[in-house]
């Protein structure tokens, strides 16, 4: 307290925050919980103010809210000890959504500083036009994110309840340093039910995550090990998460479930957890979907997207995918009144972002995509853990020689396991940074990312935000994003997507997107070889695709009663993030 007489908010703001936080921790450890709450509340108010000052001044400093991430964890812990569960939820939400935006700002600012340093090394009369373009582009991204900050005000528990109807429940996870918990939220409970996990549960979860990711990363050496062990691994995860006990806390009248994971839990197919002799998606007749946070869920709930008639697709932009979609896009587009498709070499970045190679300030989004009610990407996706902003999609002309990595390792990145020793030119890709900066999807109800790893996030991050392609499309205006959690099977994905859109057509004018996806997933999981053959021969697929699929099933499966896609690897790869309807 004496130190705070010297370290004041105005004279030494960062030291003030540090000292105040230490004082709050002392109060917490001394079980003076009311004092701890009041003190930590003051810390957060100061952090929010300092963060805004840094954003406004474009100073090259670390994000204060990120630097003091533990403050938010501590006040949530104090709220839980005080049994103030509604306040705990509100502080969790405060950290998640605002930090999703704020966490992107330092990343962009570091890129701006790097470009400035490059330009300073060049003579004024011979400045590199590429560097100037990059600098303008990064500043535009930053300005757009700053404009988004003020749209997200703290959400109250009563507002979260208003998102829900009487038949919908939320399970929200939150991971601390030495434990984690799950909140069960419904419209009618005045405070959330809570399940406390202990240190042993957290240790088991961390060990499970480590083994899962190690085997996944090794799939290029032994692609079958991770895939074959997925079913058993999910059984173990269900035990660690006590999923049966959690579901017992959900009222019986709830027919729909929204999962809000935390940190690395975003990477796992929680909807495919085995429970009560079945799977989680089988227990909720109106579907199981996901949301990054309650606040983003509230934002997308407010968006009205009544139309579902126009369709925009990126189809097979890279040569290795030519004619490999098994007629998926052609079959789906028949369901729409207006369909526009960029196929093969037409599917390049300059066709999506008009003027991107000319003047960064005059970039406009393709008019057909701007007006689309549904956007569909059938291409390769990738996640860049070192710089999530540069995760994205491989478009036409993106493959180059790996030798270029030596020239510019930031622009050219390697392709893991690629037999042709190629690299990817990031400037030819559509990245999360492009989506955040230039996409305005104010007519879009559904973005489907039929590509690998499009639902990935950083598994090593200790922060609360969810940074990935789905959050980019949600921030751009879409109300739903269907994305993948791993490198997917082309055949299983094609079948799933065709069935998914068939279900959408039958689901009362597309009023339940998450249910349509879940229904398609159960169909893929439970259908036999004979069932698929009957379906294929009655489908609207082209003759060539029908012949191919009949041959595929006849050659690979001798028993007509075999369920070829019964493994969660095939049917559980995709999930819906967002509004769900």
pLDDT in tens, 240-294: 999 999 999 999 999 999 999 999 999 999 999 999 889 999 999 999 999 999 9
Q: Answer yes or no: is pLDDT of 231 > 80.
A: yes
Q: Label the pairing between strands 412-414 and 422-425.
A: antiparallel
Residue 289's alpha-carbon distances to 284, 372, 386, 512, in angstroms, are 10, 23, 28, 11
Give the pLDDT confidence of 72-109 residue by residue, as tens digits: 889 999 999 999 999 999 999 887 765 555 544 444 45
Residues in Cβ contact with 24 at an 8 Å cutoff, skipping those fewer than 6 apart: 36, 39, 40, 43, 71, 74, 75
Helices (H), 82-156: 85-102, 104-120, 129-149
Query: By C-alpha distance, which of 433, 437, 394, 439 is closest to 412?
Result: 394
pLDDT above 60: residue 556: yes
Distance (Å, whole) CA 303 – CA 478: 9
**Between 5 and 149, where is the model more confident?**
5
Average pLDDT, integer, range 185-207: 94
228 φ/ψ angles, rounded to the nearest 5 degrees: -70, -25
pLDDT (tens digit, 9 = 90+) per residue, 337-370?
999 999 999 999 999 999 887 766 678 999 999 9
Residue 167 pLDDT class (50, 70, 90 cuts): very high
Amino acid 59: pLDDT: 47
Residue 286 backbone phi and psi in degrees, to 5: -100, 10
Residue range 429-471, pLDDT digits in tens: 999 988 988 899 999 999 999 998 999 887 776 665 678 899 8
How far apart, in whole angstroms, are the C-alpha atoms of residue 259 and residue 577? 9
What 8-state DSSP symbol labels residue 488? P
Nearest alpha carbon to residue 383 among 461, 325, 494: 461
Instruction: Return d(Cα 571, Cα 325) in angstroms, integer.
Output: 17
- Confidence at residue 44, expressed as pLDDT on a 0 to 100 scale: 87
- CA distance to 101, 186, 256, 360, 373, per residue, from 159 (Å): 21, 12, 19, 39, 28
- pLDDT score, position 483: 97
* Residue with the two structure tokens 């890709």: 429
User: Residue 293 is encoded by which pair of tokens?
Assistant: 């946070």
What's the N-to-C CA distance of the chain in angstroms?
A: 52
Q: Model confidence over 466-497: pLDDT tens digits?
A: 788 998 899 889 999 999 999 999 899 999 99
Q: Is the pLDDT of residue 144 over 60?
A: no
pLDDT tops 90 at residue 221 = no
**Residue 62 — very low, low, confident or very high, per pLDDT cuts 50/70/90?**
very low
């Amino acid at each position: 307290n004496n130190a705070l007489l010297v370290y004041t908010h105005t004279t030494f703001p960062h030291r003030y925050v540090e000292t105040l936080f230490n004082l709050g921790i002392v109060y917490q450890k001394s079980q003076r919980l009311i004092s701890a709450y009041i003190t930590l509340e003051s810390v957060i108010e100061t952090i929010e103010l300092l963060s805004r000052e840094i954003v406004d001044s474009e100073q090259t400093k670390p994000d204060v809210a990120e630097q003091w991430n533990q403050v938010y964890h501590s006040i949530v812990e104090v709220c839980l000890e005080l049994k103030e569960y509604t306040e705990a939820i509100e502080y969790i939400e405060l950290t998640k959504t605002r930090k999703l935006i704020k966490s992107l700002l330092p990343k962009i600012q570091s890129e701006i500083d790097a470009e400035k340093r490059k330009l300073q090394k060049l003579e004024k009369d011979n400045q590199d036009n590429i560097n100037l373009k990059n600098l303008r582009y990064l500043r535009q991204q930053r300005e757009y994110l700053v404009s988004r900050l003020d749209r997200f005000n703290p959400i109250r528990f009563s507002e979260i309840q208003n998102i829900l109807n009487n038949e919908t429940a939320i399970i929200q996870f939150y991971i601390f340093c030495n434990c984690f918990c799950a909140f069960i939220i419904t419209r009618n409970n005045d405070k959330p039910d809570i399940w406390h996990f202990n240190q042993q549960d957290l240790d088991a979860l961390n060990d499970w995550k480590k083994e899962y990711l190690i085997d996944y990363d090794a799939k290029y050496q032994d692609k079958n090990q991770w895939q074959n062990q997925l079913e058993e691994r999910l059984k173990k995860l269900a035990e660690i998460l006590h999923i049966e006990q959690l579901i017992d806390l959900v009222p019986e009248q709830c027919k729909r479930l929204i999962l809000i994971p935390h940190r690395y839990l975003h990477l796992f197919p929680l909807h495919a957890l085995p429970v009560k002799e079945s799977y989680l998606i089988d227990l909720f007749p109106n579907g199981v979907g996901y949301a990054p946070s309650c606040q983003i869920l509230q934002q997308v709930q407010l968006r009205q997207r009544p139309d579902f008639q126009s369709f925009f697709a990126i189809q097979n932009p890279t040569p290795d995918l030519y004619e490999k979609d098994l007629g998926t896009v052609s079959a789906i587009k028949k369901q729409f009144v207006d369909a526009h498709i960029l196929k093969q070499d037409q599917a390049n970045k300059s066709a999506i972002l008009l003027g991107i190679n000319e003047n960064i300030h005059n970039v406009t989004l393709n008019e057909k995509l701007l007006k689309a009610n549904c956007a569909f990407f059938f291409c390769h996706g990738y996640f860049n853990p070192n710089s999530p902003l540069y995760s994205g999609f491989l478009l036409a002309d993106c493959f180059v020689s790996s030798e270029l990595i030596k020239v510019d390792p930031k622009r050219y990145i390697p392709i893991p396991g690629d037999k042709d020793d190629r690299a990817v030119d990031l400037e030819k890709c559509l990245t999360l940074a492009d989506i955040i900066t230039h996409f305005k999807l104010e007519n879009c109800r559904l973005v489907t990312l039929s590509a690998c790893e499009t639902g990935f996030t950083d598994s090593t991050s200790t922060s609360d935000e969810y940074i990935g392609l789905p959050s980019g499309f949600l921030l751009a205006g879409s109300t739903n994003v269907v994305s993948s959690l791993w490198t997917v099977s082309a055949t299983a994905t094609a079948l799933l997507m065709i069935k998914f859109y068939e279900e959408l057509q039958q689901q009362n004018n597309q009023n339940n997107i998450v249910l349509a996806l879940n229904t398609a997933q159960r169909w893929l999981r439970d259908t036999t070889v004979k069932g698929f053959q009957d379906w294929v021969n009655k489908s609207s697929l082209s003759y060539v695709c029908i012949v191919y699929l009949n041959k595929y099933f006849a050659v690979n499966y001798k028993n007509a009663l075999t369920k070829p896609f019964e493994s969660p690897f095939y049917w559980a790869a995709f999930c819906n993030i967002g509004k769900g309807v």
